[in-house]
Amino acid sequence: MFSILPRISRQSAAFRYHERCISSVVPLANLPDTGIVNEPILTYSKDSPERNALKAALKSTAAKCEEIPIIIGGKEIKTKDVRYQVMPHNHSHKIAKFYWADQKIIENAIEVACDAQTKWDRTPLSERVKIWNRAADLMATKYRQELNAATMLGQAKTVIQAEIDSAAELVDFIRMNAYFLKECTKYQPISENVKVTRNSMRYRGIDGFVAAVSPFNFSAIGGNLAYTPALMGCAVLWKPSDTAVLSNWRIFNAMREAGVPDGVVNFVPADGPVFGDTITKSPHLAGINFTGSVPTFNRLWKQVGNNIDKYVNFPRLVGECGGKNFHFIHPSADLESAVASTIRSAFEFCGQKCSACSRCYVPESLWPKMKAGLVEKASKLKIGDVQDFSSFAAAVIDEKAFQRITSYIEHAKKNSNTEVLVGGTYSDEKGYFIHPTIVESKDPHDKLMTEEIFGPLLTVYVYKDSALEETMKMVTTSTPFALTGAVFATDESFLIHALDKFKMAAGNFYINDKSTGAVVGQQPFGGGRMSGTNDKAGGPHYILRWTSPQAIKETFVPQRDVEYPYMKE
């Protein structure tokens, strides 16, 4: 590969410099280019090997309360601040015992991470890619069912919801980000004449530490938030959500087994505000990789702003936040598909996907049939324990979510503009169960139509067919969010019009498909406006947020003149 540098002898200092510094860019080209495909989603049909393996993993996971220490630089720490993760669908059943780190421990984790970063950043990219591929293989095979069982029992996901999250999406994030890294190193700056100068770029980590703050609702998101900055040479403090600690812990262990060195990612469960306050005070904060609600991200952003004079780097702030996602039904829509897609989008995983449909706009001409379809389908959904494989959905995540969602249901019952069409019942006796609820609202600006509820509650607004344009405008302006949206129509000219009118209404837009279910590599994910910084997790450019590239110009023809030729008479 050095044949293009004829002026450099292999023994020279310049050659050694190449070996040491540029090698982190170049060797990737030597890895075989195998292309990339998504991890297959297994069926778990009766008597399949994966079904049997999952049942065994569920049994062993449910049988114990797993102890999870804080891990900093590979060392286990336990504090007096003991916490438990329970099963949301059976909240007296504890499945994990963990510990909250206090301010001192978090500060220590920052020191350890900063030290580890310098060494880790010198690990060749090709080596890191190998570790990530090894980890993806472990997650797809040896640990697949352990990850699924932890996600099912700890976060109340059904088989399919766990499989698309903690198996397929997680494996895809790990494998594809490594692939995207390999791909992006193929692009090098222009060198007009390599006999005179050579230009290159190397992808460095960001010095300091990155705080990865993850939500409860996707195990895969935790893996992505912590391990994409790590892949790029950053060191990380990973604060998992209290209600997803077990699945996140299993991800952490699989990555360790694959070869991620101690200190590169530190596992630091903690009280949210204590963690946020501590990391934003550190001068070494290199970035925050956050997914969660708008108020939490706003708070972190403000804290960074208040501390801006303290930092070594401008911290990168990446936040994927909430949504108020819409399905817009056109009079030409295929009704059956609009009904089925809306039910799945609104009620799978109890509507606790950031992309879940939460407001639906239906033309008056289609409403009688659409209403009958929605009510019939929603009333038949089986809600129960995730270990009963016939359940469509289970419980909402915790007591706080239960209170929040049911307060919206009570609002729907009391308000004269709103009518509960189906559902509206709930009980937190054994688990946090809320029946899928559909409300019709006569007011398109009611809080049910504008606020993120994050639960199994869908609100429908019926518009006059003649008011199509005003309604479309209202869809794009009545909420601060712009995460996902879907339009259902068979009229092609309307679809072209909708693409224009809804351009800024959603970061992920669907035509005749539900608003949920983005696949890594296929629909890179993220929203605009208050839905986040839209860095498109799962896409080829996301990794670039976590590198501080260095451009290098090497000159092989020594410049010995001071004066320019034109200066000579």
The stretch among 148-156, 161-169, 316-324, 368-376 that binds ligand NAD (CB under 6 A) is 316-324
- Report if residue 524 touches ligand NAD, rule: CB under 6 A: no
The stretch among 136-144, 207-215, 386-394, 509-517 that binds ligand NAD (CB under 6 A) is 207-215
Can you state the angle between helices 245-258 and 144-155, rounded to 10 degrees? Answer: 160
Q: Cβ(418)–Cβ(448) under 8 Å?
A: yes
Please identify, using beta-carbon distances, which residue of 203 and 275 lies nearer to ligand NAD.
275
- Interatomic CA distance for residues 107 and 121, integer angstroms: 21
- Report if residue 305 touches ligand NAD, rule: CB under 6 A: no
Please identify, using beta-carbon distances, which residue of 25 and 401 lies nearer to ligand NAD.
401
* CA 324 distance to own-chain centroid: 17
Torsion of CA 205, 302, 480, 447, to 10 degrees: 130
Q: Cβ(286)–Cβ(316) under 8 Å?
A: yes
- Report if residue 321 touches ligand NAD, rule: CB under 6 A: yes
CB 310: neighbour CB atoms within 10 A?
13
- Report if residue 501 touches ligand NAD, rule: CB under 6 A: no
Please identify, using beta-carbon distances, which residue of 174 and 506 lies nearer to ligand NAD.
506
Nearest to 182 by CA among 289, 28, 299: 28
- Report if residue 481 touches ligand NAD, rule: CB under 6 A: no
The stretch among 382-390, 415-423, 472-480, 523-531 that binds ligand NAD (CB under 6 A) is 523-531
Q: Cβ(239)–Cβ(211) under 8 Å?
A: yes
Torsion of CA 511, 516, 532, 180, to 10 degrees: -90
Please identify, using beta-carbon distances, which residue of 138 and 537 lies nearer to ligand NAD.
537
Please identify, using beta-carbon distances, which residue of 331 and 540 lies nearer to ligand NAD.
540
Q: Cβ(516)–Cβ(355) under 8 Å?
A: yes
DSSP 8-state secondary structure symbol assigned to residue 93: E
Please identify, using beta-carbon distances, which residue of 289 and 296 lies nearer to ligand NAD.
296
The angle formed by the CA atoms of residues 115, 120 and 121, to the nearest 5 degrees, is: 105
- Catalytic residue (choose from 39, 163, 320, 440): 320
Least distance (Å) between residue 88 CB and ligand NAD:
13
Q: Which residue is nearest to ligand NAD (CB)?
A: 276
- Report if residue 517 touches ligand NAD, rule: CB under 6 A: no
Tell me which of 205, 263, 323, 517 binds ligand NAD, using CB under 6 A: 323
Tell me which of 132, 143, 179, 216 binds ligand NAD, using CB under 6 A: 216
Q: Cβ(216)–Cβ(292) under 8 Å?
A: no
The stretch among 17-25, 50-58, 342-350, 527-535 that binds ligand NAD (CB under 6 A) is 527-535
3-state class percentages of the chain: helix first, strand second, coil last, to nearest 5: 40, 20, 40
Q: What type of residue is 60?
A: S
Q: What is the 3 state secondary structure string of 490-549? A: CCHHHHHHHHHHCCCCCCEEEECCCCCCCCCCCCCECCEECCECCCCECCCCHHHHHCCC
End-to-end CA distance of the chain: 44
DSSP 8-state secondary structure symbol assigned to residue 39: P
Q: How many residues bind ligand NAD (CB under 6 A)?
A: 31
H/E stretch holding 482 reads: strand 481-482
Least distance (Å) between residue 86 CB and ligand NAD:
16
Q: Which of residues 433-462 bind ligand NAD (CB under 6 A)?
A: 452, 454
Residues 264-303: x/- map of binding to ligand NAD (CB under 6 A)? --------xx-xx--------------xxx--x--xx---
Please identify, using beta-carbon distances, which residue of 124 and 272 lies nearer to ligand NAD.
272
Token pair recorded at residue 479 = 């909420």
Least distance (Å) between residue 104 CB and ligand NAD:
17
Least distance (Å) between residue 516 CB and ligand NAD:
11
Q: Is 320 marked active-site?
A: yes
- Report if residue 349 touches ligand NAD, rule: CB under 6 A: no
Please identify, using beta-carbon distances, which residue of 272 and 540 lies nearer to ligand NAD.
272
- Catalytic residue (choose from 114, 234, 350, 354): 354
Least distance (Å) between residue 368 CB and ligand NAD:
32
Please identify, using beta-carbon distances, which residue of 370 and 448 lies nearer to ligand NAD.
448
- Report if residue 215 touches ligand NAD, rule: CB under 6 A: yes
Tell me which of 532, 533, 535, 542 binds ligand NAD, using CB under 6 A: 532
Least distance (Å) between residue 397 CB and ligand NAD:
7
Token pair recorded at residue 459 = 């609100």
H/E stretch holding 130 reads: helix 125-140
Token pair recorded at residue 488 = 């259902």
- Interatomic CA distance for residues 306 and 203, integer angstroms: 30
Q: Is 212 helix (H, G, I), strand (E, B) or coil?
A: strand
Please identify, using beta-carbon distances, which residue of 261 and 272 lies nearer to ligand NAD.
272
Q: Is 451 marked active-site?
A: no
Least distance (Å) between residue 222 CB and ligand NAD:
9
Query: Cβ neighbours of residue 126 under 8 Å, at least 6 residues apart?
Result: 27, 28, 30, 31
Q: Cβ(362)–Cβ(462) under 8 Å?
A: yes
Least distance (Å) between residue 286 CB and ligand NAD:
16
Least distance (Å) between residue 455 CB and ligand NAD:
11
Burial 415-434 (b: 16+ CB within 10 A, else e): beebeebbbbebebeebbbb
The stretch among 20-28, 182-190, 209-217, 551-559 that binds ligand NAD (CB under 6 A) is 209-217
Instruction: Tell me which residues touch ligand NAD (CB under 6 A).
Output: 213-218, 221, 239, 241, 272-273, 275-276, 291-293, 296, 299-300, 320-323, 354, 452, 454, 483, 525, 527, 531-532
Residues designated catalytic: 320, 354
